Amino acid sequence: MIKLNDQFTWSSNTKIDLVDISGGKSLSTGIHPSNSKHRRSLEMLDEIRTLVQGGSSFRMQPDGPTEIKPISDAREGILECMTSGSSGAPKIIRRSHLSWIASFEINTELFNLSPEDTYAVLGSLEHSISLYGTLEAAHIGASLCLLAALRSDKQLKLLHQNRVSVLYATPTQLENLAAIASPDLQLKDVRCILIGGGAFSATLAEKCRDLFPFADLNPFYGASETSFITIANADSPQGSVGSAYPNVEISIRSESGQITNGTGEIWVKSPYLYAGYAEPVVSDTKQLNGFVTVGEYGYLDQAANLFVRGRKGRMVTVSDQNVYPDEIEQFLSVHYKAGPLAVVPVPDDKRGHRLAVIATDDARKASLEVALELCRKTYGAHSTPKYMYFAKDLPQLASGKLDYAKIDAWIKERL
């Protein structure tokens, strides 16, 4: 049994992007930090390194990291970071350093990670997937390329120049890269992509295989509160988010708290769970006997593969039937091959709600209509979007997820 460190470490082997504050080039990327947001991200990275090397507990916020006092006399450090805000107002998550270190050790074995790797993260450091990838790289002694706040074309260029081998990204970020990549571009050094923060469709997987021909694609399902819950691979059934990540126990429970074989609330027990919210919040998150749920619903098949239907807070009733927009969005994403889309509920006087879908390529309207007809045959008319819209781009949060609040507002203006 390996004895884990109680606190994050920043290996002396780790090479990171550094900024010459006088205005010179970034020492790693070789680009002038004229982009003020990228420049600030690089400065924040150096501030995080100073805190980690000093053994400090800290809170990560949009304007940078700040040192905080440990919540007890325990030796292990504390990290506070924000949820993405994709399902409501961002919340500040509190967790022990050890809860992430435990999964660093698992990932090192699962994906053969080493100090020889060069990591890249695409998003802002105040959000958990980018912060997690950054701290994992530093902890194991790998090099790191921070590409936050850069255009997708620059990110592609720097992924190639820095010979990045391990990439942490959301599906939306990968879609952004694939959308502007030239057909003949192949990033052959990337061998491992860890994908979190949303549904990863088969269509996007095909695009990633073209752009990253030697990369293993590893979509994982989790939340800021739980970290890893499941991980999928090429053998996972379509529509599934995979099976339990090592040392994770999944329990599907009814509203009354009883274990069920059907659809129910997803409860998780693992060494990777958060230690609570830093401030009181209204939330679907609940804890019981070491298990946590963030209010998402799903079911397990006979092979223990998890299928996620959606968050309780986004579930709506259509003609007195429960409908999960997240589930319909994932289904349509499989069959509409032109690009990303989003499904949101809209009020309806007769039925309570109806669904609307917004996609990004109006030239492929026929393809979306085919996907909607398949949806109607699979889920019924009540679960099939009635309204169809197209836009040049779908709004995104800084975390690399879709901004459903803006999408909702955009659609309601057009009803």
Q: Domains of the chain (ranges plus CATH)?
A: 36-246+271-277 (3.40.50.12780), 315-412 (3.30.300.30)
Region class of 88: left (phi > 0), else alpha (psi between -120 and 50), else beta: left
Instruction: Look at strands 249-253 and 264-269 and give their pairing.
Output: antiparallel
| pLDDT at residue number 244 | 98
For all residues of the chain together, what is the average pLDDT?
87
| Cβ contact 54:137 at 8 Å | no
- Cα 329 to Cα 47: distance, rounded to the nearest angstrom: 39
Residue 290: name the closest of 312, 263, 306, 267 by CA. Answer: 267
What pLDDT is recorded for position 304? 96
For 228-237, what is the mean pLDDT?
A: 93
Question: What pLDDT was estimated at residue 397?
Answer: 80
* Residue 126 tokens, joined: 């105040």
Q: pLDDT at position 124, please?
A: 85
Q: What is the pLDDT of residue 239?
A: 86
Strand 296-300 relative to strand 306-311: parallel, antiparallel, unpaired?
Answer: antiparallel
**Per-residue pLDDT for 271 more than 80?**
yes
State yes or no: pLDDT of 3 exceeds 60. no
Residue 100 has pLDDT above 90, yes or no: yes
Q: Give yes or no for a contact between 67 and 57, defined as CB atoms under 8 angstroms apart.
A: yes
- Residue 72 confidence (pLDDT): 63
Query: Sign (positive/negative) of CA torsion 225, 230, 234, 238?
Result: negative
pLDDT given at position 31: 45
* CA distances (Å), origin 251, targets 74, 225, 262, 298: 30, 16, 11, 10
Token pair belonging to 180: 């502007």
Instruction: Indicate the DSSP class of residue 165.
Output: -
C-alpha distances (whole Å) from 140 to each of 51, 163, 344, 404 are 17, 18, 41, 35
- What confidence score (pLDDT) does residue 30 get? 46
Q: Is the pLDDT of residue 273 over 50?
A: yes
Count of CB atoms situated within 10 Å of the CB of 32: 12
pLDDT at 182 (0 to 100): 94
pLDDT of residue 91: 84
Q: What is the pLDDT of residue 42?
A: 85
Phi-psi region of 321 (alpha: psi -120 to 50; beta: other; left: phi over 0): beta
Q: Which of 174-178, 283-287, 339-343, 396-400 has the highest mean pLDDT?
A: 174-178
Residue range 319-333: average pLDDT?
Answer: 87
Which residues lie closer than 8 Å to 43 by C-beta, 6 or more apart? 19, 21, 64
Give the pLDDT of residue 23.
38
Please tell me the distance from the alpha carbon of residue 214 to that of residue 208, in angstroms, as a whole number. Answer: 10
Q: What is the pLDDT of residue 25?
A: 38
Handedness of CA 388, 393, 396, 402 (dihedral sign): positive
HSE (CB half, 13 Å, CA atoms) of 224?
A: 24
Q: What is the tens place of the pLDDT at every residue in 4-48?
A: 678 899 988 887 754 333 333 344 444 455 578 888 888 899 899
Tokens of 402: 């879709």
Question: What percent of the chain stands above pLDDT 90?
Answer: 57
Interval 320-328 mean pLDDT: 88
pLDDT class of 228 with cuts at 50, 70, 90? very high
> pLDDT at residue 70 above 90?
no
Euclidean distance between CA atoms 107 and 86, whole angstroms: 26
b (16+ CB within 10 A) / e for 260-293: beebbbbbbbbbbbbbebbeeeebebeeeeebbb
Place of tokens 């990777």: 272
For the ranges 25-29, 150-154, 197-201, 354-358, the lowest mean pLDDT is seen at: 25-29
Which of 1-10, 94-103, 185-194, 379-388 shows the lowest mean pLDDT across its residues?
1-10
Confidence of residue 127 (pLDDT cuts 50, 70, 90): confident
Average of per-residue pLDDT across 132-137: 96
Query: What is the rounded average pLDDT of the residues 325-332?
Result: 89
pLDDT score at 177: 96
